């Protein structure tokens, strides 16, 4: 199953395992909200490439999250996955 970063129309950014996607709707398993990422992360694609840099805020995982208004779904690298699953919150 794909570990992805999802962005939404209302500027939400989420990480999790993609369970399903249909048009602008997606369902994530073990989903986390990326509340804030520091400038060192280098944008939302930096989250997918390397994960959140120090000073970023990643919330705790929930079992399942259904999202509407999805604007992008990006595969995460192994390094980003490890960093996201650590759930850094400062």
Nearest to 51 by CA among 30, 28, 81: 81
User: For position 15, what pLDDT does the model report?
Assistant: 98
Identify whether 90 is part of a domain.
Answer: no
Strands (E), the chain: 3-8, 13-22, 25-36, 57-58, 62-68, 70-75
Q: Number of structural domains, the chain?
A: 1
Please report, for the domain that includes residue 55, its CATH number: 2.30.30.100
> Is residue 86 predicted with pLDDT exceeding 90?
no
Nearest to 36 by CA among 55, 50, 17, 9: 55
Rounded Cα distance between 88 and 90, Å, is 7
pTM (2 d.p.): 0.94
Print the domain residue range for 7.
3-85
Identify whether 22 is part of a domain.
Answer: yes
Identify whether 72 is part of a domain.
Answer: yes
pLDDT in tens, 14-55: 999 999 999 999 999 999 999 999 999 999 999 999 999 999
């Amino acid at each position: 199953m794909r570990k992805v970063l999802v962005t939404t129309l209302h500027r939400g950014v989420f990480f999790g395992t993609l369970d399903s996607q249909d048009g602008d709707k997606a369902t994530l398993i073990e989903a986390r909200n990326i509340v804030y990422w520091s400038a060192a992360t280098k944008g939302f694609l930096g989250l997918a490439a390397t994960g959140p840099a120090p000073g970023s805020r990643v919330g705790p995982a929930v079992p399942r999250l259904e999202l509407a208004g999805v604007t992008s779904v990006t595969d995460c690298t192994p390094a980003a996955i490890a960093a996201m699953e650590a759930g850094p919150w400062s």
